[in-house]
Amino acid sequence: MSDYNERIALTEGVFYILISLKEPLHGYGIMQNVEKLSNGRVSLGPGTLYGALNSLLDKKWITAWGNTVNSRKKEYVITDTGIEVIKNELSRLEELIQNGRIFLGGII
Partner 1 sequence: MAKQFFTKWRFFYNYEKETVWLNKMAQEGYLLVDYWWTRYTFEKGIPGSYVYALEFLEHMHTHPESQQYIAFLEEMGVEVVGRYMHWISVRKKTEDGPLELYTDTASQIEKLNRISKWWISFSILEFSIGLFELMLSIFTAISGETHSVFPFTTFVLLTFFGFVFLLQAIPLLYKKKQLQAKSNIYEK
Q: Which stretch binds partner 1 (CB under 8 A): 17-25, 39-47, 57-65, 93-101?
A: 39-47
Alpha-carbon gap, residue 60 to 23, rounded angstroms: 16
Q: Minimum Å distance from CB 66 to partner 1?
A: 14
Of 17, 18, 21, 31, the one binding partner 1 (CB under 8 A) is: 31
Is the Cα torsion angle 39, 42, 44, 49 positive or negative in sign?
negative
Q: Does 60 bind partner 1 (CB under 8 A)?
A: no
Length of the chain equals: 108
- Positions touching partner 1 (CB under 8 A) are 11-13, 26-28, 31, 43-51, 72-74
